[in-house]
Copies of this chain bind each other. A is one copy, B any other.
Amino acid sequence: MRDVSIIGIGQVEVGEHWDKSLRELGYYALNAAMRDACIQHIDSLYVGNMLSGELTGQEHIGSIIADFAGLRGVEAVKIEAACGSGAAALRMGYIAVAGGMSDFVACMGVEKMTDRQGNTVTSALAMAADGDYEALHGLSFVSINALLMRRYMHEHGYTKDDFAPFAINAHANAVNNPYAMFHNPITRKQFTESKMIADPVSLLDSSPIADGAACVILAPTAIAREFTEKPVRVRASAIATDSVAVHDRRDPLFLEGGAISAQKAYSAAGVGPADMDLFEVHDAFTIMSALSLEAAGFASRGKGVALAQEGQIMPGGRIPITTMGGLKARGHPVGATGMYQLVELATQLRGEAGKSQLANARLGMAQNIGGSGATVVTTILESSF
């Protein structure tokens, strides 16, 4: 198996791109990544996406984007694992380059959501839940997270306001990220007073739907320096699953898929949570940040929220999270999100995060979650310059 590095990154601003089609968004991100890597050819393109069919009426987007980008002929497929699609696409590319099948692989995440009505989008997103046992009975993703958050508060003795630090930190970190959807810091008072969506999940617990695309170029580490002065090594990429329906889990408050994929990744890289300088969590809702921190070993059971209250998730804290805004403030174009996490992580590890730059960011991790934890992709990246 070969060592693999990211030699190029690209992204478009997350937002409401009513003037750009899905293929255009994908092309912009791919083109930016290929220019960053100084390459004009790739062997294959893996496109992470969840809802192109449901929301834009287009499947087969691997070929669509490859052709639109002037890469007609190249191997191209779509990879789907609900909101975990983005990092799952990286996993497929990682396997291809590590195993020696391909030398240059573009891994993309792309999603276009804001052209459609809210109800349509809510129904489409519910396809990440169990259609027969959850969605059919009216459970949306907000309500699933509300049930989890309520139970977590009950089990561990927190109030709703205790989750504020997750949202405040995310918004503060997005201010200087030019690709983020929101650039407004929020206060504890704003969090407390924000509109209730599904008790106890309020507006500021929730990430916004959005349009976006992000892309990385992978190559063997042995030749990475021919293309970039700042290669970022992929130390590990692992996928684990769990039951899609929350009621089928052994413990609804423990992300078993998150724990398994983190352990696989730690084991592959020979590191542990104590070695990490930052952690991009999948904060689709504040409760998911807490559960991911616990599953990945950064906090013991029930202590994810306490870690946030102590300020340890902020820049300078023990384990900074959502360092460029997270899903909450960068925005959550679902199938693209996992790739945004990785592009942001790579940006930090390259020391190119501008005013969002963390000191001493050498080794970092991202956890990209599909559904309410049924697919979890853990990726560990490291500076290698």
**Is A82 among interface residues, defined by CB-CB distance under 8 A?**
yes
* Cβ-based interface call for A243 (8 A): yes
Q: How far is the CA of A53 from the CA of B49 in the complex (A)?
A: 12
Choose among B57, B67, B244, B260 the residue that contacts A131 (Cβ–Cβ < 8 A).
B57
Considering the complex, give the chain B residue whose CB is closest to the CB of A261: B75
For A375, the closest partner residue in chain B by CB is B63
**Contacting residue for A81 out of B62, B99, B132, B374, CB 8 A:** B62
Q: Is the CB of A375 within 8 A of B60?
A: yes
CB A234 to nearest CB in B, in angstroms, measures 13
* A100 contacts the other chain (CB 8 A): yes
Q: Is A36 an interface residue (CB 8 A)?
A: no
Q: Does A222 touch B at the CB level, under 8 Å?
A: no
Q: In residues 68-97 of chain A, which contact B (Cβ within 8 Å)?
A: 72-82, 88, 91-92, 95-96
Smallest CB separation, A288 vs chain B (Å)? 16
Task: Flag if B63 contacts A242 (CB, 8 Å).
Answer: yes
Say how many copies of this protein the assembly contains: 2
Majority SS at the chain A contact face: mixed
What are the residues of chain B within 8 A of A127 when measuring CB–CB?
53, 57-60
Q: A348 → chain B, closest Cβ, in Å?
A: 27
Measured between C-beta atoms, what is the minimum distance from A167 to chain B in Å?
Answer: 26
Judge if A240 is at the interface, Cβ distance under 8 Å. Answer: yes
Pick from A51, A58, A75, A78 the residue with the most CB of B within 10 Å: A75
Q: List 29 A-B contacts (CB under 8 A).
A: A21-B132, A51-B59, A53-B53, A53-B54, A53-B127, A56-B131, A57-B127, A58-B127, A59-B82, A60-B81, A60-B129, A60-B371, A63-B241, A63-B374, A64-B130, A64-B374, A67-B241, A67-B244, A67-B374, A72-B242, A73-B240, A73-B256, A76-B241, A77-B80, A77-B81, A77-B239, A78-B80, A79-B79, A99-B100
Ranked 9 nearest A-B pairs via Cβ:
A99-B99, A58-B131, A60-B82, A59-B127, A63-B374, A78-B80, A75-B239, A63-B241, A77-B81
